[in-house]
Structure 1
């Protein structure tokens, strides 16, 4: 079994470490709930495990290793946990009731453990709400993309209705391509901007995950690579990968008892959902993301019209998704996508760096990709992001999306300092 800390990628050649809703539909009200402000929640530990050769590492080993790495990063042991929330997908794991396998590996035997099959980012929200309830002081969040199934596209077909979508056949890539087509039809010059997003994220990913992220390529090579689902070429997406993410959360009173904790405070959260049937949606817009952002911003005291983030970690299964996410977060209107990308505003050193980790375009553990965005944004606020740490980070925003064409959207705002009392 392989264990790790904050910088083990140079020690183990085969593995990479970084330890460190409202439901609504178009036309309907998307008002978000305001969560209690008495108890504040902080992220105090984090770990990511990405085995280069998944066939040499069992999922059980990976879960056990990343759990204890996150606990060590937080200065805790499993005995310090009041409970845990895990998120997994039985279809992707290739087994029934995956939580039964995972319980022992994450230390859940004999402890309070909650499981959600929706997405990794939803597990984070559940854990934070548990701490805010006052019933728990500490929580472990773990999610993974196990890749033990033979064909992830076939498993995604099973998630669709058997009469219309399954016959397409619809999977993540097909829905992402439909979304990309809708966006290209509305924004002139978008394809070149999308190619630039891929190039920028791959450059940043090569710094954040130097042993894993694909090498950056010129735009022309990205454009001319094999066409997968029009207009997406092979160079514009990353293949699904095996990955595990773990975070440790604690209440403000618990953190106050341990003054040396490196904390990313949760200033606000929001989540919302699009209709399940693609024909009921305008794939070129994301009203659910705007609703989720408004929820999170209202709680954190952020002006949606003038958000003051130092950086953002957003969903980018395709470069088109990153751009539409920036619009939904109030960070860049679509009229400025092309010029902002060309001016380097989303790159390191730009006006608003986006995905300094390289995002899913550099490393794509599909099911837990949203939790990775949350972990990366939290680590930046904690000063624990490693090789891609930005200086003087005070406030960050994380966005996780899941489901076909970004059906589910979650937004989390982090701060280096606690929120002021309201």
Structure 2
């Protein structure tokens, strides 16, 4: 990779993009509903909260994936449900955090006054929890390099276990300390309306859960769920005429990681998060540190690295329990933002929150990271 030539371009502050509506469906192990039904339910509720109608939308961005929906061009099914009929609409095959960024950029540029970003995750499979997990692991393996990675069984979970083992070998962490951190996250989220792990846990509970790959146990991994989350965005002028939420996106950042053979996904897994956070905070401009942060750490071995990369050590981190409390696959980025919005409700004007999400299809390899800076308006 060549070093950049000359000075980097000056960063232009992003015109604030207001969040005027946000809603989610229930989160279940498996929904007895089609993806378009889930999308419609979330978008309808979010628009209603904002006092808007489908005809007010200028753009709809959906986060979903054909292979999970079990049909090609599956966005043809969900575009209309997302309000995209006879309007601009497109689909991102990745995490909903990137869908929010794409919709926010369209509003900030002046292309549209109102946009919606929606993530939906309800893999087209049936059976036991073990069957669903096996299906997702197979999809993950298929996303890896076909000649080198696939034959050795690389999956997202395998990358998490390799990094966790490296973390234990090179730091003072051990399985017990990882279990304590996982238990704290699960317990913090327990009892909340959106939690799918509804009961508090102890470190002993975590270590007693099914072993996955040393040093990881089942309760150290994300709490898989299905559902849809919609975020309605508006320009400042249009937001003043809306009824819903009162927050705004002031910074956004996106970065990707490198391939398996680079190896830094084990030694420095937070590098993409660090780059995305630097861009988001630079665009947001000067301000007090975040008071709340929702980060997506798929294992407790990644938690400290992501906190450091986001610079949010002084914030209330993962009050919702994070992904160990609820992880709705591709809809996770929108859910993390929704949790930040709920925590900023009633906060002083200008209070900051950080929303961090990672596309987990290939785990730590080729990470696709989104970071949003949100302020109470």
1:239-388 → structure 2 map (5 Å cutoff)? 239-258=223-242, 260-285=243-268, 286-302=270-286, 308-332=289-313, 352-383=315-346
TM-score by length of 1: 0.79
Q: Is the 8 A contact 1:205 1:362 kept in 2?
A: yes
Q: Is the 8 A contact 1:41 1:128 kept in 2?
A: yes
- Counterpart position of 1:198: 182
Q: Is the 8 A contact 1:264 1:379 kept in 2?
A: no
Of 381, 402, 405, the residue aligned with 2:364 is: 405
- Structure 2 CA distance, aligned partners of 1:378 and 1:287? 26
Of 132, 137, 145, the residue aligned with 2:113 is: 137
- Gap runs ≥5 in structure 1: 1-24, 333-350, 384-389, 418-422
- Counterpart position of 1:231: 215
Of 49, 65, 68, the residue aligned with 2:41 is: 65
How far did residue 37 of structure 1 move? Answer: 3.6
Cα 1:159–1:109 shift into 2, 3 Å: same
Cα 1:197–1:136 shift into 2, 3 Å: same
How far did residue 211 of structure 1 move? Answer: 6.6
Q: Is the 8 A contact 2:46 2:232 kept in 1?
A: yes
- Structure 2 CA distance, aligned partners of 1:366 and 1:33? 35
- Counterpart position of 2:142: 158
How far did residue 263 of structure 1 move? Answer: 1.8
In structure 2, the residue corresponding to 1:154 is in which secondary structure?
Answer: helix
How much is the aligned-residue C-alpha RMSD, in angstroms? Answer: 2.6
How far did residue 265 of structure 1 move? Answer: 1.1
In structure 2, the residue corresponding to 1:308 is in which secondary structure?
Answer: coil
Is 1:395 aligned to 2:364, yes or no? Answer: no
How far did residue 41 of structure 1 move? Answer: 0.4
How far did residue 121 of structure 1 move? Answer: 0.9
- Structure 2 CA distance, aligned partners of 1:324 and 1:198? 15
How far did residue 45 of structure 1 move? Answer: 0.7
Is 1:172 aligned to 2:153, yes or no? Answer: no
How far did residue 282 of structure 1 move? Answer: 4.4
After superposition, what is the alpha-carbon deviation per residue over 1:346-390, rounded to whole angstroms, capped at 9, x for unaligned?
Answer: xxxxx532111221101111222122112221332344xxxxxx8
How far did residue 38 of structure 1 move? Answer: 6.6
How far did residue 391 of structure 1 move? Answer: 8.8
- Gap runs ≥5 in structure 2: 126-131
- Structure 1 CA distance, aligned partners of 2:240 and 2:211? 54
TM-score by length of 2: 0.88
Q: Is the 8 A contact 2:69 2:124 kept in 1?
A: yes
